[in-house]
Amino acid sequence: MSWNANVLTLYPEMFPGPLAHSLAGRALDDGIWSLDTVQIRDFATDKHRSVDDTPAGGGAGMVMRADVLAAAIDHVLERQPQAPVIAMTPRGLPLTQLLVRALAAGPGVSILCGRFEGIDERLFEARTIIPVSIGDYVLSGGETGALVLLDACIRLLPGVMGAATSGVEESFEAGLLEYPHYTRPTEWEGRTIPEVLRSGDHAKIAAWRKARAEEDTRSRRPDLIERHRDV
């Protein structure tokens, strides 16, 4: 059985979108992963097919209704009860490579894409849902966040990347950013590839890469060093 993604959205036509191309697209064609989109509006109960209402307490915008979203979630849980349910929200836990690995190792994922001002908080109390944020900025909808999450998971599924690029040396895998890469031409605009990478000395190359990974992480992402120290 393939790794299955259920995406609950008001814009099913946004999927698979970019995931129909390159590695993810080939894997979709090969049946390594599959995709089911669920139109949230199909679970509305009034004649206008409303999925949102005004915010309690006042304020701008609209809020997605818990009753409509719960019906959509219950529908996917019936179809695939083992897949964790994730809601895309800037109020969520940060999406990390650790979470991506855990999700990729499971049977798949169901992702609820928010719109408007967000989701009625009672939904998170009434259902087991992992709130996930893709970063400290605000998107117009959860769909682009879902595409990011799915892309990160799909490339880790067995058979998607070649054996040579298993992903274990990449950024975040060891709590560090990856070392920098170079390729031909050896000299470009007066800049040469670091000598050590052309030496053929594998031990020296590994030591140089480790040192650069640490140096770049320290200067660009000191938070990663701190986080890794705490693990």
List residues near ligand SAM by CB under 6 A: 88-91, 113-115, 117-119, 133-135, 137-142, 145
Residue with tokens 């605000």: 138
Smallest separation (angstroms) from ligand SAM to the CB of 173: 22
- What is 107-152 written as a DSSP string? SEEEEEEP-TT-B-THHHHHS--EEEESSSS--S-HHHHHHHHHHH
Return d(Cα 54, Cα 125) in angstroms, integer: 20
- What is 203-218 written as a DSSP string? HHHHHHHHHHHHHHHH
- For ligand SAM, the closer of residues 138 and 163 by Cβ is 138
Smallest separation (angstroms) from ligand SAM to the CB of 139: 4
Cis-peptide into 180, omega within 30 deg = no
- For ligand SAM, the closer of residues 120 and 213 by Cβ is 120
Smallest separation (angstroms) from ligand SAM to the CB of 125: 17
- For ligand SAM, the closer of residues 12 and 145 by Cβ is 145
Amino acid letter, 48: H
- For ligand SAM, the closer of residues 130 and 225 by Cβ is 130
Using the 8-state DSSP alphabet, how is residue 179 labeled? Answer: P
Smallest separation (angstroms) from ligand SAM to the CB of 123: 11
The length of the chain, given as a count of residues? 231
- For ligand SAM, the closer of residues 12 and 118 by Cβ is 118
Which residues have C-beta within 8 Å of that of residue 190, sequence separation ≥ 6?
A: none
Return d(Cα 72, Cα 90) in angstroms, integer: 21
- For ligand SAM, the closer of residues 93 and 207 by Cβ is 93
Smallest separation (angstroms) from ligand SAM to the CB of 48: 21
Q: Which of 170, 174, 96 minimizes the C-alpha distance to 133?
A: 96
Smallest separation (angstroms) from ligand SAM to the CB of 80: 21
Give SS3 for 209: helix
